Amino acid sequence: MADSKKKEAEAALKEADKITTKSFTRWKCDWDNGAILYEKAAKGFRTAKQFDQAIYCFKRLSLCQTNQDVYYLAAKSIESAAMMEKEQNHLKEAVELLVESSKLYRTNGNSFAAADAMTRAAKMIEEKDVDQALQLLHDACELFELDDKEHFSGDAFKMTISMLLRHKKIFECIDLLIIQNRVFSKLDQTNELNKSCLSVIVLHLDMDDNVMAKKRYEDFLQYVQWAHSNEGKVAGQLIQAFDANDAEAVKKLSQQYLFNFLDNQVAKIAKNLSLGGVSGGKEAEESVL
C-alpha cells in the first residue's frame, strides 16, 4: 500500500510542479488545481513515510493557498510541514515553519492562532535556545496588544512569565509584568491587575531594591483600586518593613495567604523574602553581574 501511495504521490507532484511553474507555453500558474494535487501528493508521501517529499508538498500547497488568498489554510499547511520536521527532530526547521505559519495566521486576522503557533515554537526550542524561546513568547504577548486582542492574551503572558522566572530573567519578567498591567487595566480586570502589581513589588524586593519597589508602588497608584486592595496594602507594608530593616515583619508578611494566588514561581519567591534578597531574584542579579 505504501508503494502505491508513493507512486500516486509522485505522479501528483510531477503534475503539480508542472502547472504551478511558468514557462514559454504557460504564462500563468494554476494555483487552484496545483493545491489539489499538492495536497494529494503530501498526504500520499506522508502515508509512505517519505517525509522530505511530504514537507516539500505541504510548503508548495501553502504557496498555492496563499495565492488563492486563503491564508488560514496556507498557515495550516505550513504547520503540517512543521510537525513533520519535528517528528524527525529537525527542531530548527520546525520552529522556522511555525513562525512562518504565525505570520500567515496574522495576515488572516487570527491573532490567537498566530500566538499559539509562536508559543508552540517556544516550547519546542526552549531547551536548545532559551533566548529565542523567550523572544517568541514575548512576540506572542505583544501581538495581542498590537492587534487589540488582549482578551486572548492570558495564557501567553503566564507562560512567558513562568519561563522568564525559570531561567532567572528577573528584569525581563518585570518589564513583561508592566506590559501585562496595561492589558489588565484596559480589560478592567482589577483583581488580576492587583496581583500583577504585587508581583512586580515582590521581585524588586527580592533583589533588595527597595528604592525601585517604592517607585513602582507610586506608579501603580494610577490604578484607582490598587492602594485600597489587599495586594496594595501588603505591598506597602512589605516596603515599610524593608525600609525599617524589620526582618520579623518581612517574615510575617511573606506568609500572607494572598501570595498563593500569584504565579507559582512568584509565590515561592514571595514566601522566601528576607532582608538582603536571597531567592530567585538575587541569583538573577548575580548572574547578570
Q: What is the pLDDT of residues 227-274, one digit of tens each?
A: 999 999 999 999 999 999 999 999 999 999 999 999 999 999 999 999
Question: Could you give the CA distance from residue 137 to residue 170 in angstroms, rounded to a whole number?
Answer: 15
Question: Could you give the CA distance from residue 231 to residue 208 in angstroms, rounded to a whole number?
Answer: 19
Please give the residue that has the higher pLDDT: either 143 or 70: 70
CB 6 within 8 A of CB 50: yes
Question: Could you give the CA distance from residue 163 to residue 136 in angstroms, rounded to a whole number?
Answer: 12
| Spatial CB neighbours of 27, under 8 Å, sequence gap ≥ 6 | none
| Spatial CB neighbours of 176, under 8 Å, sequence gap ≥ 6 | 138, 141, 157, 160, 161, 164
pTM comes to 0.77
Single-letter code of the amino acid located at 194: N
Question: Could you give the CA distance from residue 22 to residue 39 in angstroms, rounded to a whole number?
Answer: 20
| Spatial CB neighbours of 69, under 8 Å, sequence gap ≥ 6 | none
Q: What is the pLDDT of residues 160-215, one digit of tens each?
A: 899 899 999 999 999 999 988 988 998 899 999 999 999 999 999 999 999 999 99
User: What is the pLDDT at residue 276?
Assistant: 72
Confidence of residue 158 (pLDDT cuts 50, 70, 90): confident
